[in-house]
Every structure is written in C-alpha cells, then in structure tokens.
Amino acid sequence: MSIRFLQETKSFRLDTPKATYLFHIHEGNYLIHDYYGATVGEDDLRYLCARGKRNGTYPNSPDVNNREFSPALAPMEYSTNGSGDFRISALQIRDGGGHNSTDLRYVSHKIYKGKPAIPHQPATYATAEEADTLEVFCKDPATGIEITLFYTVFRKADVITRHTMVANNTACAVDLERIASTCLDFVDADYRLLHLDGSWSRECTVEREALTRCIKTVSSKRGYAGHQHNPFVALVRSETTEDQGEAYGISLIYSGNFASETQVDAFYTTRMLMGINPEGFGWRLDVGETFYTPEAVMVYSNEGLGEMSRTYHKLYRHNLCRGPWKTKKRPILINNWEATRFTFDGNKIYSIAEEASKLGIEMMVMDDGWFGTRDDDKHGLGDWYVNEKKLNGPLKDLVDRIHGLGMKFGIWFEPEMVNPLSDLYEAHPDWCLKVDGRTMSTSRNQYVLDMSREDVRDYLLDCMAKIMDSCQIDYIKWDFNRPLTEVGSALLPAERQKEVFHRFVLGLYDLLERLLDRYPNLLLEGCASGGGRYDPAMLYYSPQYWASDETDAMERLPIQFGSSMCYPASSMGAHVSRCPSHHMKRTTPFETRGNVALWGTFGYELDITKLTDEEKELVKVQCEEYHKYFNVIHNGDLYRLIPPYTREEAAWMFVSPDKKEALVTVVVMMTKLHRNRYIKLRGLDPEKNYKDEETGKIYNGKTLMNAGLIFPEYREDFTSFKIHLTEI
C-alpha cells in the first residue's frame, strides 16, 4: 500500500514514486503536518513541526501539556478558524448559536484500495490497482460536527488528491462560511508563487513572484474561473527551471469561484489553501446533510516544472477525461464563425464543408446563428429551435448533405444564457439570476439562466435533445460568454442565497452528465469566450477546450505554453485562422499557423472557399501531418524547450512514451542577424540513435540532449520549422 499508519508515532505516511507526505496525531488529537517533498527514509519527522517559540501572544491549548505548543504556530493539517490559529483558515463553520469558532480533532481513520467518487461532482478516478485512499474522520468537540479528510495516492504517479466532507449530525442547522479542499503548511518561505494570469484573448500567461510576509490570493468571483486567473498554482524554488528544482502544483477540479491563498507568517513559514472562494460563498447545512468540496490535485516534482506538467498531463488524460473520445483520435474540424459570423445560410455552410472535405478536413461545425431569430448577438439566445428559413430547410437536410461528403457535423450551443429579446425570456423572466430591486446587468446583450433550477435544466436538455434526435449531431461546442452578476435565485430563501454560486456549478454538472448519459458518443468541446472556463472539471465532460479566442499564431504561443503548465495537448483547442489575424491584424505564414495549431486538437477558423490554390495544398499537408504526428503529440511527453517570452523564438517538443519518436517545433518570433540559434533537446533515450526525417542525418540521443543542434539563420519574422526524429 502507498498509504500506511505508523502506530508507534501515530503518523500517516503517503508515498508516491518520488515523494513522501507525512502528518501525525498530536496530543489532544490535533492533526499536525510534518513533511511533503522528495522521498525520505523511515525516520520520525515529527521534530519538523516545531515552529517558532510560543509567548503570551500565542495561545496554548488546554488539551496539550506542552506549554510550547500553540495552534497559532503549529503546522495544522487542516486549519480552522477561531480556536487559536490566526493564519488563513481552511474551515469556518457558524454553529446554531451564531458562533464561528471551529475546531477539528482526530477520531478515527480507514485506509483502502481504490478511490471514491465525489457525489454530484467531477473528480479523478482510479481502480483498486491504481490508487489507495485514506479517510481521516474528525469532529469538532464543542458542536459535534463531523469532518472527513480524504487523501488518494496514485501509486505510479507523483499525485495526491484531497477533498473534504462535512456532515451535520448535530441538533440544528449550521452554516459553512469557508471550506477549502486542501491545506498545506511548509517549514520555510523560500518559494516563488507561479500562477496563470491574463485576460480575454491573453489567457494563461505565466506569472512568477516571490513570497513575502503577507497573504497572496489568486482567485475568481465571476462565477467561473474567468480569463484573469486559472484554478492552478504552484510553489517553486527560486532556482527551479523546466528541468530541475522543486515544484508543488495544486490544481482544483472545479468550474466556479475558486481561491488559492498563500500566507507567509512572522516565522517565515508558509501556508497554502486551495478551494471554493469564501467570498460570496455560504452553505446552510441542515441536520443530517453533508457537503463535499471539489477535489484538489497536488503534484510534487523535484525535476522542475516540466516533470510537474507531464504528471498532470498523464493524469488528466487517463484518470479525468472519460468516454470514447478520451483516447480516440478527434476529427479535424472547420468552424464557420471567423468566416461568416452571423451572416450565413445553409448553402454557405455546405459550400465550406464541400471544399473542406476535399482537403482532408473531417468535420463541419456550424457556430452561433442557426436558431431562433439569431442574426446578431441581441436576439434569440435561449430559443433553441432551428431557423429553417436561414438554413434553407430542416437541419436534417443540411446534416445529411454534409454527412454525404464523408464529414461529421457539429453545432454550437450556449445553454446557460438568454437574450432579453427572446421568446424564452419573455415567457420565463424568473428563470434568470437576479436580485430583487436591482437592475440586471447585461454582457454581450445577455442574461444568465439560473442553473440551480431543475426546471431550467429540464428545459435545456429537452431543447437540445429535440435537436440531437432530429439528426445525427456528432459534436457540440458548448459556449459560455459572460460572468455571473446579481447572483440570486427566485427559488431559494434568504438564508440560502449565498449557495447560488455553488448550486449553479452543480447544476451545470448535472446537465452535462445527463446530456452525455443520453448521447454517450457525443464529442463535447468547451468554450467560454475562449479559455475563460478552461479548468480540469470541464475536461471530465469535454475532453477538449477552446483555449483562447486569440488565434494569431504569435499571440497563441504564450497562451499555449502557459496552459501546458497543467493541461495536456489533447485538451487544448487550437486552430489555423485567417490572415491577417482577426484581432492582431498581423500577417504570419500559413505553415507557422499550422505548426502552432498542431500543438492542440487542430482545426480551422476561416473561409476555406477563399483560400488560394497554394494555401489549399498547405491545408492538405497540415491535415496529413495531424494524422502522422497525432500519437506523439497527444500521447507523448511535452518538453518546453524555449519559452516565447523573450519575443525572439519559441520551441517545444513531444516525445513518444517509448522514446522511439520525437517532434520538435521551432517558431522564430523576431529575427536577429548574425546569431546562432542553438538548442538542446530533452526527453530522448540516451542509448538510442535518431534519424532526422528531412535531412537524413543520424544523431545519438546523448548528442542531441547534451551537445544540441544549431539551426540555420532565418531572415524573416514568424517563420517556423519542425524536426521529426525516429529511432533507427
């Protein structure tokens, strides 16, 4: 077993292949954290819990004889509010008497093979052969509220997942005010906080900043992660690079408001929390009810950021994504949005599909504008019936014609939203999120439907099912284009209005689950004005996600580099778009746009009927390359060779799991004269010899990784090239 209880020291030991996690039951039944890091021996590490020296400003505990012990100094395994620990709290409960002093003491535990599901929420999954789980049962001595801490260790990966459950077995209702999925205490503060910052069309920019004696928060209160922050953070040492040094990643499997809080105290020790954002959150827990947090996925690496990322990639590909499209090759798609916006009819869609089918593209996706009175973004959203006049007939006729070309067919939905100018809103204004007496905000001319309501979800599923049952829909692009404001539900009483944010997310999961239960072969792609809801929870339902509305190849490079800190290539929606690009008005070579898009799920966002003959030939080549390199990109290991932040060049490579194949891609972002472009490869087998497919040259793996390669001098910005290496 990868989890053991050491009776002599009353310690819990969790071991991954390269890491150890230790905590123990202290006097008074406090749970105290000892260590998390590279694998250690069987030594008693309880001595590491000594933090600072208690004085009169630090309260002691009446249940501990050692007067030097204080909850304000000790590395608490799961911190609570109001009982002597003044640092950021993982748990805060307001009891029936109105008090929010919370305590947590060990009662019992159990260890077993496998991994439990989290009720009504997405989470990683594992068989009894893949993982072991520890459940630690605790209780608040004063109130009797029960808290269970869940830990799962993946035996063959440096992954530990955590989530928390609270059960109210008391005599009256209580209110959860703060509940994190995980709490980590570190013995020092010599770390940098790495997180993914951004905005619309600039998602997942890597930020790295020093910790100071304060609280640093990375969060969202938009109702989803949003473009500004992603629910992933890492603590890294100052010397940590792609290939060496320590990194502690925490990724939250959640699609709502989240918060990662990192605090350095007066003794330069560090605490990090990750979970639901406590701002705007509350949950009334009636007698007999339970509450489960989302799952936090912790990855430790002492081989740099690259190894941390590759661990996440493998885990999310194999133990989070589900269904037939988890490993199946996805079809190359073309989306009409950048080609037509709302101005199209059935004949235009067919003409794009007809030309695309000749070039190797495998699926036509009809985007926004096919339903209701939807000729602009002001009308029709929520009226999910086919506009047959616009499509020149029933949707089935168009779908059958496109299937007749040998192509699959996909369609766009934005189920969670409604236009004020729509039949749905006129009939059911109470179905929207709103606060009585307040004006409802619009964004993109739309309101937000109250997904916490079962009648709303039933309506949406019924509408979508009528479309799906009328013809063969192979793919849905599920969009989400605005944040949540005036977050109130007409069905909930006043004391439960703080639950709406979380109930909205649970409602989304319920609708997605029901849709996929009904159509198990459906391929879903998530979107939220690009990567606004690119989070692990969505990968549980949609194995690919539109990473950004920014499709300019140069702007996409930092987005894709940053996204890859946590998310695998198989999940990253990336397409070749028109040129000059829609947003940047920049002209880039067609080959470079293809090379950048090959990193992800691959497709096109342009009017293919307007391409030149030369460009159409390039489309054929790119489609062939997608199939040729699919396995090494989507199932291989990613190595970020040169980050794009210098604005000179960027490079990355994928290596097949058996190390028999590698694909290196280099993009020249800004040309400089008289400069050798030199790069060392990574991840190859040092004992293998590799052949460069284009030049025929043969290199030893050690040579490529230790001596490297010099590339030719390029005289044009935005050029790119690939090197395909195969074992001989």
> Residue 136 is encoded by which pair of tokens?
């630690």
| All residues at 6 or more sequence positions from 274 whose CB lies less than 8 Å from its CB, including other chains | 180, 181, 182, 231, 233, 250, 252, 258, 259, 260, 296
DSSP-derived 3-state class of residue 542? coil
CB 390 within 8 A of CB 336: no
Length in residues, the chain: 728
Distance CA 476, CA 542 (A): 9
Distance CA 664, CA 636 (A): 12
DSSP-derived 3-state class of residue 453? coil
Q: How many CB atoms lie within 10 A of CB 380?
A: 24
Distances (CA, A) of 115 to 3, 214, 227: 13, 36, 32
Distance CA 332, CA 342 (A): 23
DSSP-derived 3-state class of residue 687? coil
CB 574 within 8 A of CB 599: yes
CB 374 within 8 A of CB 387: yes
Of 132, 368, 479, 637, catalytic: 479
Q: How many CB atoms lie within 10 A of CB 517?
A: 8
| Catalytic residue flag (residue 479) | yes
| Catalytic residue flag (residue 462) | no
Distance CA 163, CA 180 (A): 8
Distance CA 209, CA 193 (A): 5
Amino acid at 511: L
CB 189 within 8 A of CB 270: yes
> Residue 160 is encoded by which pair of tokens?
């530990």
Of 140, 549, 552, 637, catalytic: 549
Distance CA 421, CA 446 (A): 9
Indicate if the alpha-carbon torsion angle 644, 309, 537, 149 is positive or negative. Answer: negative
DSSP-derived 3-state class of residue 502? helix
Distance CA 103, CA 578 (A): 58
Distance of CA 479 to the CA centre of its chain: 16
Distance CA 4, CA 1 (A): 7
Catalytic residues: 479, 549
